[in-house]
A = this chain, B = another copy of it.
Amino acid sequence: MLKFEIIETDNKARTGILTGTHGTSKTPCFMPVATAGAVKGVKWEEIEKSGYSLVLSNIYHLYLRPGIELIEKTGGIHKFTNWNGLILTDSGGFQVFSLGDLMKLTEEGVYFRSHIDGSKHFFSPELVVKFEEKIGVDIGMVLDECTPYPATRDYALHSLERTYRWAKRSIEARTSNKTAIFGIVQGGVFEDLRVLSARLTSGLPFDGIAIGGLSVGEPKEDMYNITSLVTPLLPFEKPRYLMGVGKPEDIVVAVEYGVDMFDCVMPTRNARNGTLFTRNGKLNIKSARYKTDERPIDEECDCYTCKNFSRSYLRHLFAAKEINALILNSIHNLHFYGRLLEKIRKAIKGQKFSEFKQEFFANYKVDKDSCYYNL
């Protein structure tokens, strides 16, 4: 049973508390990605220390390895992973639809071959709900057809219609309210289709609504435009989740539109590539300029990495290909995101989100492809 309580609002931005079977999470929140049941390089206790109580996993990955039955047999996803907070699982539709020739879509569901061993499998909306209930996740995402970019208007229309039919089947398939189910808005970059999908999905008795199919290669303008268009059309009282987003600047902007939940591989993946987040923007630890730099990554950061190690040491570990580089970088980046969301919640609470945003963008050097200033 999922409960969502909105605590404060500041224009369209809001703070809230999400209560599921395994705990609560303050919103707006960012969900660290634990694709295979572990946040790469980071321990659960470190996840908690950075302010997270809700993580994301992936049914497609868990289904292939270690298998839904195995997780069920060993007591469910929480016992198996020993993560004692909330878990949301993506259906893995995005991963399945990325398989290209290894995937065949029908009205009934999707046939696909494993990216691991080529074995044949089938996912339907009903099966995905069943898997999510079996392993006992707190929030399960429905199986949707993630519309690729670019796609024709026709394709996007058919795709969102199918996603809607699948959404209804997903709701029919539910057998327990221990696992909440979120619907997903599709429609590509077509405004009218997004409005249609938002209205259709909002009309169904979901526990929350996600905006899917963004951050899939479309221009930043479209991502911001669609998010700002769709978010206010979603039920006010339900949690709103912008899937796969994103950069710190994207999160700040989307919170202003009224989004409550985010997930992205960026903090951990960037960490493994040597890209670290600071209040002033990204920092490439591989750069020779940090060779003898004795400062921490970010002097205002209170993460384990910043409290203990210099840029010089972190650069050395990365150059020497030490696992510890990935670990320490990942801890920092996730902490940065955790603290960012904490600041966002505090700003909304104090009715100062607009000031916060202004200050954030005054300090943070956004990526070149960011269209924030063009909006």
Per-position binary interface string of chain A over residues 77-100, scored 1 when its CB falls under 8 Å from any chain B CB and 0 otherwise: 000111000000000000000000
B residues near A315, Cβ cutoff 8 Å: 66
Asked if A317 lies at the interface with its beta carbon under 8 angstroms from chain B, I say: yes
Interface size on A, residues (CB 8 A): 38
Asked if A151 lies at the interface with its beta carbon under 8 angstroms from chain B, I say: no
Asked if A294 lies at the interface with its beta carbon under 8 angstroms from chain B, I say: yes
State the CA gap A81–B314 with chains docked (Å): 9
State the CA gap A250–B309 with chains docked (Å): 36
Question: Which residues A298-346 have CB closer than 8 A to chain B?
Answer: 304, 308-310, 312-313, 315-317, 319-320, 322-324, 326-327
Asked if A292 lies at the interface with its beta carbon under 8 angstroms from chain B, I say: yes
Cβ-defined partner of A75 (8 Å) among B61, B294, B327: B294
Name the CB-closest residue of B to A310. Answer: B74
Asked if A41 lies at the interface with its beta carbon under 8 angstroms from chain B, I say: yes
Asked if A73 lies at the interface with its beta carbon under 8 angstroms from chain B, I say: yes
- Does A322 lie within 8 Å of B70, measured CB to CB? no
- Can you tell how many copies of this chain the complex includes? 2
- Does A312 lie within 8 Å of B74, measured CB to CB? yes
- Does B74 lie within 8 Å of A322, measured CB to CB? no
- Does A291 lie within 8 Å of B70, measured CB to CB? yes
- Does A70 lie within 8 Å of B40, measured CB to CB? no
- Nearest-neighbour CB distance to chain B for A103, whole angstroms, equals 21
- Does B82 lie within 8 Å of A308, measured CB to CB? yes
- Nearest-neighbour CB distance to chain B for A250, whole angstroms, equals 26
Q: A37-B316, A65-B319, A316-B37 are in contact. Are A292 and B324 (CB under 8 A)?
A: no
Instruction: Please name the 6 residue pairs, one residue from A and one from B, whose CB atoms are nearest each other, closest first.
Output: A66-B316, A38-B324, A36-B320, A41-B323, A82-B308, A38-B322
What is the interface of chain A, defined by CB distance below 8 A to chain B?
A: 36-44, 61, 65-66, 70, 73-75, 80-82, 291-292, 294, 304, 308-310, 312-313, 315-317, 319-320, 322-324, 326-327
